Amino acid sequence: MNNAVDTSLFAPSGPGGGNEAILEVRDLCVGFPSDDGILHAVDNVSFDLRANETMGIVGESGSGKSVTSMAILGLLPKYAKITGSVKFRGEEILGVRDKDLTAIRGAKIAMVFQDALTSLNPVFRVGDQIAEAVSVHRKCDRKELRERSLELLELVGIPNPVARLEQFPHEYSGGMRQRAMIAMAIANEPDILIADEPTTALDVTIQAQVLDVLERIRDRTSSSIMLITHDLGVVAGVADRVLVMYAGRQVEMATVDDLFYRGLHPYAQGLLASLPRLDRRGDSGQLSRIHGQPPSLVFLPPGCAFNPRCPHAQPGVCDQNVPLLREVERDHFSSCIRAEELVAKGSES
Ligand SMILES: Nc1ncnc2c1ncn2[C@@H]1O[C@H](COP(=O)(O)OP(=O)(O)OP(=O)(O)O)[C@@H](O)[C@H]1O
Ligand SMILES: [Mg+2]
């Protein structure tokens, strides 16, 4: 597809930047062959993850969030067609041999998987599983392993960690298991932690605690976090910047404040409008919804993939070329070709 982004736009000198990019993703495309043709799961995605920031990746189910992170970590199946570039601290990691990636995966870039609650092995004690994660990348004796495991359980806020080390996963609550998974992921103080829907299966109070843990980790270990979620409410509290994906493409990228107060892309605006807000209670009692369904990733509509659902779509304009993500305002990117026009309209009304 021809949706290339002007990558010079991501130079880390812009506002909110000044921070070196430790991960540079450029023109990332992932296609999966299917009976009907290629399924374009990720289509020309480019972004920087800056040092010590939390970047939220948001989009509805099937928008390509997990595939993006799996591509970064080289975890996609062989039949996936992957192109583009992913640089970690300036070094290309896309397409490098598994053997060479092992040193980076886990140690430098760690991931908490979407199905974390089932990722713990039920037959081993949690303490042993954490110790195992520590020992994969560094040599230490039993005493050091135990101390490090304790320290990690404390860091993720598990109460009474000495006793908890001896327990099995089924003795942990859902939130505690999720925290144990985070403890394992950060065992080697990775530079980047990718957390894929780390709070989805949890109730609201526990969600908040897990998000607190992520924030604490970022502050204590100076790592960067990529937080993947379909829930804009989750990124509002913890992310510095947000990338919004739709049908495998990026449609908006901005600081969290810019996105929430001046969302530029109609899809992002639709997502924001469907967030429950205390100050709007009593309005109509009804949340705004984005009408229609996301498109098939095999048969994408021509032009902007959102145009069939977009309240601002103009026939003959939005259904022509795939729009490029571009900097509409400082450090605020949108792929909507009508972005400026819609901003002007918005400020008139
Ligand atoms: N291994 C695979 N083989 C074929 N298609 C895949 C594979 N993995 C993902 N896909 C497809 O790629 C698209 C993007 O999937 P992805 O898992 O990235 O979505 P997501 O944004 O993470 O959604 P969710 O919020 O539901 O987790 C989907 O259409 C999915 O069916
Ligand atoms: Mg996913």
pLDDT (tens digit, 9 = 90+) per residue, 145-158?
999 999 999 888 88
What pairs with residue 91 in β-bridges? 88
CA of 197 to the centre of ligand 1 (A): 13
- 49, 252, 282, 324 from 328: Cα distances, Å: 20, 10, 34, 11
| Atom 27 of ligand 1, nearest CA residue | 61
**Which SS3 state, helix, strand or coil, does residue 253 take?**
strand
Higher pLDDT, 157 or 12: 157
What ligand 1 atom has the least distance to the C-alpha of 63?
21
Instruction: State both tokens at 82.
Output: 């992957």
316 Cβ contact list (under 8 Å, min separation 6): none
Model confidence band, residue 94 (pLDDT cutoffs 50, 70, 90)? very high
pLDDT tens by residue, 23-74 = 999 999 999 999 999 999 999 999 999 999 999 999 999 999 999 999 999 9
Structure tokens belonging to residue 331: 């450090």
Question: By the 8 A CB rule, do 206 and 174 touch?
Answer: yes
Average pLDDT over residues 313-317: 94
Residue 61 Cα to ligand 2 midpoint, Å, equals: 7
- State which of 32, 113, 235 you would mutate to test the pocket of ligand 1, scoring each by most atoms of that ligand within 8 A of its C-beta: 32
Q: What pLDDT, on a 0 to 100 scale, did the predictor assign at position 288?
A: 60
d(CA 277, CA 283): 10
Assess whether pLDDT exceeds 90 at residue 140: no
**Is there a contact between 254 and 221 (Cβ–Cβ < 8 Å)?**
no
Q: Which atom of ligand 1 is nearest to the CA of 228?
A: 22
Go through the domains of the chain in sequence order and give each one's CATH number: 7-108+190-278+291-348 (3.40.50.300)
**C-beta neighbour count of 261 within 10 angstroms:** 10
